[in-house]
Amino acid sequence: MPSPIGHSITGIIFLVLWRRLRHWRELLQYWREGILFILLADLPDIDLFNPSEKMFDLYSPHHHGEIHTFAFAFFVALVVTGLNSYRIKKWNWKLWGWAFAAISSHIVLDLFFSNSTTPPGMPIFWPFLKERIILPIHWYYYWEKSDIFSSTNFINGVGEGVVGTTLIALILWRNSKKRKR
């Protein structure tokens, strides 16, 4: 799994793409949606807060289970869009699509780390296919699972921050060029 930093930035990237934002300050206007997209992109890891187990236990056999699946993303996006449509009295398919994309981004990113979890892989196509999917390629860095707050993990988190922020900057720049035409 990428850290919450990587997942959160990915959520913001989907908001920037959806709203075609051109500048960092426009993100402030969309702060509510920003918080929503950060929560959505991190949501599958809610299984690390299991009251009956050790918190943040990446070794837990329950981590990378049924809520790291596209079915979960589909369902949560429906709930979010349903709540929103209740408020504005209109169904917003775009919100559904982008919310689904934000949650799915978590699943896709985690796949690159899923060789090393216990058990390996993730049942991403559950309930249609119960097999756990494992990618043949692995991410270029690893996480210290025994000590979440280790210096290695800190450096990885900073790396994700730098790469993610650069990506957002590039998309903002591309959007600003497009609108000027």
As a whole number of angstroms, the distance between CA 53 and CA 81 comes to 32
- Nearest Cα neighbor of 72 from 114, 102, 52, 50 is 102
* Residue from the set 95, 110, 122, 156 that interacts with Zn ion by CB under 5 A: 110
In the bound state with Zn ion, the residue whose beta carbon lies nearer, of 45 and 160, is 45
Minimal distance in Å, beta carbon 68 to Zn ion? 6
- Binding mask of the shown chain, residues 25 to 44, with x at each position contacting Zn ion by CB under 5 A: -------------------x
Q: Which is nearer to Zn ion, 81 or 105 (CB)?
A: 105
Q: For residues 112-171, which are near Zn ion according to CB under 5 A?
A: none
Number of neighbours of residue 169 by Cβ within 10 angstroms: 12
The answer to whether residue 1 forms part of the interface with Zn ion (CB under 5 A) is yes
Residue that the structure tokens 């589909």 belong to? 74
Q: Please state, in angstroms and rounded to a whole number, the distance separating the CA atoms of residues 32 and 79.
A: 17
Of 56, 41, 45, 46, give the one whose Cα is nearest residue 149.
56
Reading the block at residue 170, the tokens are 């590039």
Q: Token pair 């206007």 is at which residue? A: 29
Q: Does 45 bind Zn ion (CB under 5 A)?
A: yes
Q: Is the CB of 45 or the CB of 175 nearer to Zn ion?
A: 45
Of the two residues 44 and 164, which places its CB atom closer to Zn ion in the complex?
A: 44
What residues line the site for Zn ion (CB under 5 A)?
1, 44-45, 110
